Structure formats: C-alpha cells, structure tokens
Amino acid sequence: MEQSLHDKVVLITGGARRVGAAITRKLHAAGATVVVHYHRSAQEAQDLAAELNARRPGSVTPLGGNLLKVPLLAALIEATIARHGHLDILVNNASTFYPTRVGEITEAHWEDLMGTNLRAPLFLSQAAAPHLAARNGLILNIADIHGLRPLRHHPVYSPAKAGLIMLTQSLARELAPHVRVNAVAPGPVEFPDRGLTEEMKQAIIDKTLLKRRGSPEDIARAALFFAAEAPYVTGQILAVDGGRSANA
C-alpha cells in the first residue's frame, strides 16, 4: 500500500505523540500530506514534523489549539483547507483519560472528558463534512473498547467513548453516501501516564485472549486499512484489543 494515499490530505488531532504519532507516521509513509494537531505537545509536534519533512519536504504541518474551545474547531478545518486546498481524511484521535470515582466527579471532569472525547469530534466532523464530501472522504474516530463495556472508576470517560461510538454510526448515516465514517476501538495499547499501577495494567492485559499488550502500530495499521483499503466500509467499529471484547 506504499503511496496509496498520494494526494490525500489528512488532519489528525493529537497527532504528535503516542497513538497519534504512530498514525501520523503510518499515513505519511503511505503518501499522505498530514496536518498534525497538538495542544500541549508543541515540541513533539515540531520534532515529528521536522523528521517527516526531511523525508518529504512540506508534507507535514503542525497546528496547535485547545479542542475544548469550540470556535477553534472550525478554524482548524479552515486552516487545513487554506494550507492545502482540500481535506480527505479527518482522524479524531485526541483524548483525555483518567479515573473519576463516584462522589468525586466535578463539572470540570465532565467538561474535559466529554469535551475532548465527544464534543470536539462532533464539531470537527461537522465543520469538515462539506470538504470531505467533495472528496468522497473519511472520518476515522479513535474510540475505546471501554465505550462498549465500562471500565471501573471511569464513569465519565466510558460514556464519552460510548457516545463517540454512537456518533460514528450516526454520522455514517447522516453523511452517506459521500463520506465514510468508521472507528477503531483499541484495547490495552497505550496506558495513561498516571492512575494505573503495574498490577492494574497486568490485570487488564490478562483479560485479553492474546495475553499481551498491543502497540500504537497496531492502531496505525487499522487506520491505514480504513484510509486506503476499505472504500465499501462505513459505520463500523473495529476492536483492536487482543480479543478483550470477545472474552466475557
């Protein structure tokens, strides 16, 4: 699938680090021009852009912004169009993830977790829709298997990802036939920087059928599949979870 995304323009939110960076590298290697959105990861975004632009000059643009600010979302789309003339793929990858125990949940937790995981993908997709329709494009949401089965101590995050899964299926109906909308639901691939002990991480891994942790590259391969090899697939949620969702 080398250069299968030649002449395609991709906007990836949270594309500078972790899973987002793996998706950026994978789609770029397939020939895409990539706009890498970041919030607090400015240095990582600049470094990634420099690395990939050294391979193909002018092929990666870092673009900063706080996705909790709704007016910024349409501006991100317009900045991408202004820079490259069109948009073919929107990857809603940016996410916040941390526990919120009942009795300790605040309005700020709700605004943050719902804002990044659900509201931002909705308003970005809405702003991108006419541009994507003109190119028979794709919206790819990075969901979570815990949007399908709840994760203990995460009663805000899990519903936010559940909403993203339903948003995926709803937008697939709303934007057909000119825009495909799909989601990847990772399992234990990247753990958060805080909030989980090594014992907790191992317990999560033990619930997979493959008994091992996945990698960001696993998610990036799924993203490339939807971007380059699935023109007749829309409204689908692909679990990349080592069999966790099949293990009752």
**In the chain, where the domains are located:** 9-246
Q: Is residue 242 a contact partner of residue 187, using CB atoms and an 8 Å limit? A: yes
pLDDT at 239 over 60: yes
- Read off the pLDDT band of 247 (50, 70, 90): confident
pLDDT(92) > 80 = yes
- Kindly tell me if the per-residue pLDDT of 1 is higher than 70: no
pTM of the model: 0.96
d(CA 88, CA 26): 16
Q: Which one-letter amino acid corresponds to residue 87?
A: L
Q: For residues 96 and 84, give the distance between their C-alpha atoms in angstroms, rounded to a whole number.
A: 29
Count of Cβ atoms closer than 10 Å to residue 55 Cβ: 10
**Edge-to-edge strands, sheet with 33-38:** 60-64, 33-38, 9-12, 89-92, 138-142, 180-186, 237-240
Q: How far is the C-alpha of 19 from the C-alpha of 202, rounded, in Å?
A: 20
217 pLDDT above the threshold of 90: yes
Q: What pLDDT is stored for residue 2 in this prediction? A: 66
- Assess whether 38 carries a catalytic annotation: no
Fold that domain 9-246 belongs to in CATH: Rossmann fold (3.40.50)
The number of beta carbons lying within 10 Å of the beta carbon of residue 90 is 30
Given 38, 98, 157, 232, the catalytic residue: 157
